[in-house]
Amino acid sequence: MSGGSSVEQKASEDSQESLVESQESKENCKKSKEQSKESTEGSKESIEMTKESNETTTEAKTAPRESKKPSRETEVTSKATKESKETKEKSRGSKKSPERPQRSSKTGSPKEREPRSKPASKESASPPAESKDIKLRFGTDVIEHLSTKHKLDITELLGDGSYSLVGKAYDRDRKETVALKVIDCRVTPATTEYLKKFLPREKVLVLTLNHPNVMKTMQVLETIPERMVFVTEYCAKGDMLGQLKKDGPYEEKQAKFIFRQLMEALTYLEANEIVHRDLKCENIFFDAHGNVKLGDFGFARVLKRGEYSQTFCGSQVYVAPEVLLAKDYTGHQTDVWSAAVILFVMVTASMPFDDTDPEAMLNKMQKHDIAFPSSPSISTKVKALIIEMLHPNPSSRPSFKQACESDWLRDTKYSFKTAQKSTIRAKSVSRDTKRDTTKSKKSPSNGPKAPTARDHKKSKDNISVKKAKPMSTRPKVATARDHKKSREATSEKEVQKHHQVGQKNCDGTGS
């Protein structure tokens, strides 16, 4: 019996030790749950502890059935071993790099891992928001039709108006960048008048215009259902309003160049009995060299001399008072008013009238009350021209030709900038323009004048004069060969002289 009791005491001591160790393993498991990224050394220690606990459980099983408490504690230790195994797996997972995805038995093949690396590549990236915006604004069917049928690829949305969208495109036939004005021809209460009255005029009128300072329309497309497309030249430097917002008012030297070109374009329209009726900074564009390109002829029409119109056209702040009062007007005098408002904005970057209160604005126009801002400081000559052009009485306003002869613009000759030798070409263009406007009102200036028979005769005379001029007037240095030739020539002369004397003597004429 003494031997049996000693064995039981030893078993109870071992079970108590196993209980302590199992509690320690339980605490370690709790710590491993709180800290997901343990080091590998901690996991090894937990494994050793589980081994010791397993050994103690086997010893506890060999103990008699009388000791029931230790057996319950061994169940706790078995749970602790399971938790320690889970911590071991977690520690192995934390040891892997975070960039690589965890493998599983179902997603371990290379083919299934490929889609995870695709989002990082540029080829699989989603299309830019700009291309999506172009498709939404113009329509996928319109873009595809223009590309396949007319070889026009829209690349950018430039702007939108009341009745149309304007986009930048590349013409694969002409191999140049163009602008497309896409007009929505679906009839609505707001667009009925424009589609039935103004658009038919515009599509005929723009194809007849031909001037360096008027935007050229190459083609009008009517092949797309419920759409009409104007193919025009592309103006790389945008419109005047965008430039003023970005850079502020123009200096007067630059303003003279721009306004002189605008006067030239309006003189051309007047000579062809065309009125624009929608002159504003948004409709004045610039090409790559900074030349004026007058565009947007949506409200333009042919208005012959003596004819009047009553249609309200244009933006309220640019419109003449007679148009606001719904009186009969002649188009050219209303265009003079709008051009003066443009000049005011060019040199001050502000509007001459405030259109928030239309009645107060109209009263100010009729009183000829024009106030200039204190900054920037502008010359009195440009102020005088603006005041003269903004006269409430249409008959008192100067014509476009008279505006060019004003004190402010008189010394600014017409010029057109090009890529090469812009100043030389500018002088010739200005002479031709002046000659055309003074000789005949029906033959407006249209850029460089074609050479006439008189010009060809002058060029031939110049060539003949150049040929008649000597190569050089500087005396030539004599060489040894020249000296020898001169000696031979003098000797021949002397021989001839002596021969003549001798012949005379033979004839009896000598002494």
- In eight-state DSSP terms, residue 197 is I
Please name the residue ranges forming H helices in 272-369: 321-324, 331-348, 358-366
Cα separation of 224 and 150, whole Å? Answer: 11
| Concatenated DSSP letters of 78-145 | HHHHHHHHHHHHHHHHHHS-TTSPPP-SSS-SHHHHHHHHGGGSSTTSPPPHHHHHHHHHH-HHHHHH
Delineate the domains of the chain, giving CATH numbers in brackets: 13-92 (no CATH), 129-233 (3.30.200.20), 240-417+429-439 (1.10.510.10)
Beta bridge partners of residue 168, listed in sequence order: 156, 179
* Whether the Cβ atoms of residue 232 and residue 179 lie closer than 8 Å to each other: yes
- For residue 500, the model assigns a pLDDT of 54
Q: How far is CA 426 from the centre of its chain?
A: 27
- How far is residue 320 from each of residues 307, 341, 373, 390, measured CA to CA in Å? 17, 10, 21, 8
By the 10 Å C-beta count (0-12 exposed, 13-18 middle, 19+ buried), 18 is classed as: buried
| Enzyme catalytic residues | 278
Residue identified by tokens 């965008």 is: 242
- Computed on alpha carbons and rounded to an integer, the radius of gyration of the chain in Å comes to 48
**Backbone φ and ψ of 215, nearest 5°:** -60, 125
Q: Is 96 annotated as a binding residue?
A: no
Phi, psi for residue 449 in degrees, rounded to 5: -80, 140
| Amino acid making up residue 221 | L
At 291 the pLDDT is 98
Q: Which of these, 245, 261, 250, lies nearest to 344 by C-alpha position? A: 250
State which H helix or E strand residue 404 sits in: helix 400-404
Q: 376-380 long-range CB contacts below 8 Å, 24 or more apart?
A: 376/249, 376/347, 376/348, 376/349, 378/252, 378/347, 378/348, 379/252, 379/408
Pairwise CA distance, residues 452 & 202, whole Å: 34
What is the predicted pLDDT for the residue at 306? 84
Report CA dihedral (212, 215, 218, 221) to the nearest 10 degrees: -170
Of 391, 390, 394, 326, the residue nearest 358 (C-alpha): 326
Query: Measuring CA to CA, which residue among 277, 391, 279, 389 is closest to residue 342?
Result: 279
pLDDT in tens, the chain (511 residues): 444 444 455 545 555 665 556 566 666 656 666 665 555 555 555 555 655 555 555 444 444 444 444 444 445 455 555 555 565 555 555 444 444 444 444 444 444 444 444 444 444 444 555 666 888 889 999 999 999 999 999 999 998 888 899 999 999 999 999 999 999 999 999 899 999 999 999 999 999 999 999 999 999 999 999 999 999 999 999 999 999 999 999 999 999 999 999 999 999 999 999 999 999 999 999 999 999 999 999 999 999 988 889 888 889 999 999 999 999 998 799 999 999 999 999 999 999 999 899 999 999 999 999 999 999 999 999 999 999 999 999 999 999 999 999 999 999 999 999 986 544 344 434 334 443 444 444 444 444 555 555 655 555 555 444 444 444 444 455 565 665 565 555 555 554 554 454 444 444 444 3
At residue 367, the 3 state secondary structure works out as: coil
Residue whose entry in the numeric block shows the structure tokens 């100010």? 364
What is the identity of the amino acid at 209? L
- Distance CA(17)–CA(70), nearest Å, equals 10
